[in-house]
Structures are given as C-alpha cells and as structure tokens.
Amino acid sequence: MMNGKDILHGEYEWNNSMQDLIATRAMQRLQHVHQAGAAYLIHGNWTVTRLEHSIGVMLLIKRFGGSVEEQVAGLLHDISHTSFSHVIDYLVDDKKESYHDQIFLDTIQNSEVANILTAANYNLSLGDLSQYKLLEQLAPNLCADRIDYFLRDMRTYGYISEEEVTDFFDDLSVVDGQFVLQSEDIAMWYIRKYQEYVAVVLLDPRNIYSAWKMTMILRYAIEANYITLQFLETSTDEAVMEKLRGILDKKLQDELATLHRGVKVVLDERNFDFHMRGKTRVVDPLVQTMTGVVPISTINEEAKSTIKTLKEKYQNGSFIRVIHV
C-alpha cells in the first residue's frame, strides 16, 4: 500500500495496482496539464492539475462505496485530456467539449495502462463510462467528476473552507446509485457556491480571455506547421509553451507575450474584442425530502432562479474587451 495526502480527503492509501496506474507515463503527464487550461499563465495560483482531479475522483468514489472497477474508471476518466485541457475543444470547434472522450480508448490502448489493467484482471469496461453512476451522471445531477472539480478548485483558490468541505461530505449520501444531499441547507450552500464558482472561475473574464487567446495561438501554430494536433494530445502545457517560445516567428511571439498575469479585460457587450460561448455547466443537487428524493430546484425558488440565471449567462456567452496598457 502507498500513502498520499489530498486537499479534500486528507490522508489516504492506495493499493499497488492503483500506484502502478498512477505511475504510468500517460497518467503522470496529467500532472503537467492544468485543469483550467491556459488560465495558469494569467492566474498564478490556478495550479490544479488533471492528475490531482483524477485521484480526487477516485478517492470520492471509494469514500462513498464505489467498486474497485469504478474507482479505476474514475482515476482514468481524464487520461486523454490534451495540453491546456478544454482549449482543444475550441480549437476543433467541438461544442460538446468532448474531444478527450473521442480519443479516450485510443489513449489507453496506446499506453502502459492497458497492460496493467489486463494484469490486474479488473472486470472493467471503459467503452461507456456512463455505466459508472457515481462517476458520471447527466447534467445537472451531481457526480464524482462534477463534485471534485468544483470543490477542488474552490478549496484550492480559497473560496471555501475545510470545514465547509467536511460539512458537505457529512451531508452527502448515495441513494439508488446517485449522490443525494440530506438537507436543503447544504443543497442551497452548494447552489450558492456553485454560482460563485461560475463567476470567479468558469466564466471569469481573464479565464475566458486565456482560452480564446491560446486557441488563436495554437490554430496559428498548426496552420504554420509548427506543431500538430497529435503533439497537443501527448504533450504537457509547459512542453507546448517551450516549443512555441522557441519558434522564430515575430507574430507568434507577440501573441504569446499577451498571455501574462498583468493582462486586463472587462465584460463589454457593446464594444468587445471577442465573444465566446462554452458548454453550459450548472448543477441541481438531489435532496432527500419527506416525500422522496427530488432536485433542489423543485422545492426552492432561489435554487430554481439561480439555475435559470446561470443557464442564461452561458447561452449569452462572454463579450470580452481587452484593455491595452
């Protein structure tokens, strides 16, 4: 057994096969792929990686009684994320933001992971991750993936406390294979904090700017035959940046220079430099009531209104103006 420490779950242990999977080159690559894409170039403290998230999803599934096979599926679910995470979806114009899902099985088959899975004799089917109900649920239900990236980002960036995380986990349970909260108060805490999460992380104007700018940079680099899409699939954020920074192309270098921590952008629907609309991300936690399990929005008007507002924000998209200083 190996030991580790996680910001959400504290001290934990994993068995040898899990350790072998985490040690593979394919999984270790995720240690250098940022969950928020290119935003780390602008937000110095946005350090959460796909590896941290993947381990966190595995631990969450284990914590709530998921099978070993589902824990493995949770660990591997993001293995095919490319450099800069969802930036690739804007690059290839994938409105579902699912490019990593399309190359998921190929990524596993072309890595050491496949042999480890065979040797461990897991009864595992990775062709359809939706069969693992703790790991994946149709939006807006809670699932291990959504719970982890929300809590992990908000805890790491200082928007929620350790006590709040503990209170949430203490209230969370599994009913008929789905995550369910026991109290309306905790469900509303989640709704309010998720609304904050959308504002300060997912739809943060500088985050949107970094995704747009990196998309433009990568598209230019691919069209100029400096890099390939396959390079982005197998590389890390810093390896791509090192490659780009070493290319003698003034236009490329000038564009790269616009990704820095001092950049200033504002929302401006009348006078904007670009407009981006991404995948709608909202949650509507299930909550236990006297009459059964229901979405919080069906019994709480604030929750219903908040979800409606967030959907409208995503549908409208972000109109960003860059302030040149």
The residue with greater pLDDT, 177 or 123, is: 177
- With 80 as the cut, is the pLDDT of residue 240 above it? yes
SS3 at position 176 = coil
pTM (predicted TM-score): 0.97
**Angle at CA of residue 6, ends 4 and 8, nearest 5°:** 150
Residue-by-residue DSSP string for 57-105: HHHHHHHTT--HHHHHHHHHTTTT--TTTTHHHHHTT-TT--HHHHTHH
Model pLDDT, residue 2: 64
**ω into residue 140 within 30 of 0, thus cis?**
yes
**Which two three-digit tokens encode residue 264?**
């200033």
Q: What does the H/E/C string look like for 177-226?
A: CEEEECCHHHHHHHHHHHHHHHHHHHCCHHHHHHHHHHHHHHHHHHHCCC
For residue 246, the surrounding DSSP H or E stretch is: none
């602008």: which residue's tokens?
42
- pLDDT tens-digit map of 304-314: 999 999 999 99
Closest CA to 88 of 74, 75, 108, 102: 102
Measured between alpha carbons, how far is 50 from 79 in angstroms, rounded to an integer?
8
Model pLDDT, residue 15: 82
Average pLDDT of every residue of the chain: 96
- How long, in residues, is the chain? 325
- Percentage of the chain exceeding pLDDT 70: 99
- With 90 as the cut, is the pLDDT of residue 322 above it? yes
Q: What residue type is 253 in one-letter code?
A: Q
Model pLDDT, residue 324: 73
Closest CA to 279 of 95, 145, 39, 81: 95
Mean pLDDT of 256-279: 96
The distance of Cα 275 from the centroid of its chain, to the nearest Å, equals 22
Confidence of residue 125 (pLDDT cuts 50, 70, 90): confident
Measured between alpha carbons, how far is 156 from 288 in angstroms, rounded to an integer?
29
